[in-house]
Chains A and B, each alone.
Chain A
Amino acid sequence: MFALTGKDLRNVWDQFVEDECEESFYTLYKHYYHYLSYLGLKKKMSVQRVQDSVNDVFLHLWEKKNSNRQIRNHHNYIVTVFFRKLFRKESLHLADLDFEEESHDPAIHQSVEEQHIRTVTTNTVAQLVQEHMEQLGTKQQLVIYQRFFLDLSYQEIADANQVSIHTIYNTIYKSLEKIKNNLSNEQEIFLKVAVGLLSSFLLIFS
């Protein structure tokens, strides 16, 4: 579900347009949530505004379901609508932005590795971390997402959240330390086995 390449994505899009099916809508949302967040935050927009704009795009897609058939390049369409919402300019074209396809699309780029995490460690590392993630606050999780998933720099995250770089750095450090400490001894044994598995898996694939 996560590792969508161009062709898969096209299929999901077609399915959404044909059947107006919610499952494919959700799949598209998941994929573009990462990508659009990355683009928006790179443009130094606030987190709230980026999230609102992503939702506006999908609200638009859902409501205009009937006219979606006419869209030839769904990817460019989604990105264009997103930037229009983000900058609140209805007449904006991608050309005006001198927008270049980000070579570092986190959703595509990380898909291989992330899928390994999911498949290899479904019952171990990931699950342990997942259990403990709930102990972090909403804001802490958001910052972790921006650093460890979207690969934004500390400075970019500080700009997006409008706090100092120290606070961002401290928040990430404290969150990681907390998660690490929380993995109890018993669980750590699990983790070692799992990470062992994971690294051998990565060796095969790299």
Chain B
Amino acid sequence: MDELNLQALLLDESFVNYCKRTNKEDIEKWEKWLQKNPKHQQSISELKGTILAMGYYAGEVSIQANYERLQSQIKKRSSQHRFTAISTTVWFKIAAVLVTVGTISLFLLRQQSSEKAAEIVQHAGVPGEDAALLTLKDGSVISLVDIKNGSIVALQGGVEIQKNKDGELVYSAVEKGDATTAASNTITTNKGNQYQVILPDGSKAFLNANSTLTYPLRFLKDVRSVRMRGEIYFEIAKMESGSAGKKRRVPFYVETENQKIEVLGTHFNVYAYEDEPYTTTTLLEGSVRVTSKKGNESVLLKPGQRALLNEAFRVEDVDISQEVAWINGDFVFKGEELGSLLRKISRWYNVDVECPERLDKLKFDGMVSRSQPLSTIIDMLQTTGKVKLTLNGRRLIVID
């Protein structure tokens, strides 16, 4: 390996132990490794210095923020024992860190207060769950939440549809069927639902709330094609057709209202809701080509990039962890506009949001599990002091 694989190094807890010198065996292990790989010595020691300094300064910031909080607590309790400033320069640094350009940080996971809030709202604002509706080729509709894990949902045209032990929907051909049948199935999630399905070719699709995916019961031999709206994360299985020596990859097409994505075998996320200003395609692995239907414009994405489409395409580098945090069951917001944040909340908690337009562009940072009740997020947003929210039944109302 010529380039150090940062991701692999970080995953290996022994490497961090080596940097921190907390475990004798790990120190020896990595020192031996460095002796064998002397060309990495430079970059490893750079990395080590960076990791140590990052930990140290992150700690300083955390201390300062909490000490400032302590000071105001003390001030509140007794006015005669007031502190004098410690060091003005330190406070300037803290202030600089805290007032990150126009972004308001949420102080997350305030358990105590969220528990209290939860008592009040109780029924409204519960987090979403795994549920979806499946429409078969004959038009009959099955509610998947009512079917037990591990049982057969339906058998159509020689294709067995099963809900496996993890609750995913799995398609598998049980007899050789006629590949030309155009019969298709549709899976739909309502607001507050999500669902995973394994398509007839082994590709995985993970539907977020309020989304739809339509796919054939059997894919054609030389092309695979599906239609969708909403948000779906795909892991496309590689497939080849033709005889030995003359094999070619079978492309997979994902069609939304405004664009068509061509893929060969890869991981990507499509965000295509009617109420969003952009159709967003985010690539995690491999490569995809996205083509707009209107202008027939097309862009090729590299991993770590996303394509935003409204009138034309805009391609930009993104933080993948933020874009697809929902797959891991989390909301991660970084400089996210309130309007966009509220639309995500509205879909997952199945609430209608009322928010004055002038607040739409306020930006927020935060990280919270999707399994938390809505009250946790309401509480987080309110702690910033920038907005007030009230939940009235299924109506979430935002005011200054």
Contact = CB atoms under 8 A, between A and B. Distances in A.
Given A48-B108, A63-B77, A171-B367, A176 B62 contact: no
B57 A126 contact: yes
A51 B50 CA distance: 26
A121 B70 contact: no
A47 interface: yes
User: Chain A: interface secondary structure?
Assistant: helix
A167 B332 contact: yes
A174 B6 contact: no
User: Chain B: interface secondary structure?
Assistant: helix
Contact of B55 (A58, A59, A147, A167): A147
B73 A55 contact: yes
A153 B16 CA distance: 10
A173 interface: yes
Interface of B: 6-7, 10-11, 13, 16-17, 19-22, 42, 45-59, 61-63, 65-67, 69-70, 73-74, 77-78, 81, 83-84, 86, 96-98, 100, 103, 105-112, 319-321, 325, 328-330, 332, 334, 365-369, 372
B49 A125 contact: yes
A55 B70 contact: yes
22 contacts: A29-B63, A29-B70, A33-B66, A48-B107, A49-B111, A58-B70, A59-B70, A128-B53, A133-B97, A137-B100, A139-B365, A144-B58, A145-B61, A148-B16, A163-B329, A167-B321, A173-B6, A174-B321, A175-B54, A176-B50, A180-B6, A192-B42
Interface residues of A, number: 77
A114 B52 contact: yes
B108 A176 contact: no
B321 A23 contact: no
Interface in A158-206: 161-164, 166-167, 169-177, 179-180, 183, 188, 191-192, 194-196, 198-199, 206
Contacts of A14: none
A183 B49 CA distance: 12
Contacts of A44: none
Contact of B86 (A23, A136, A150, A174): A23
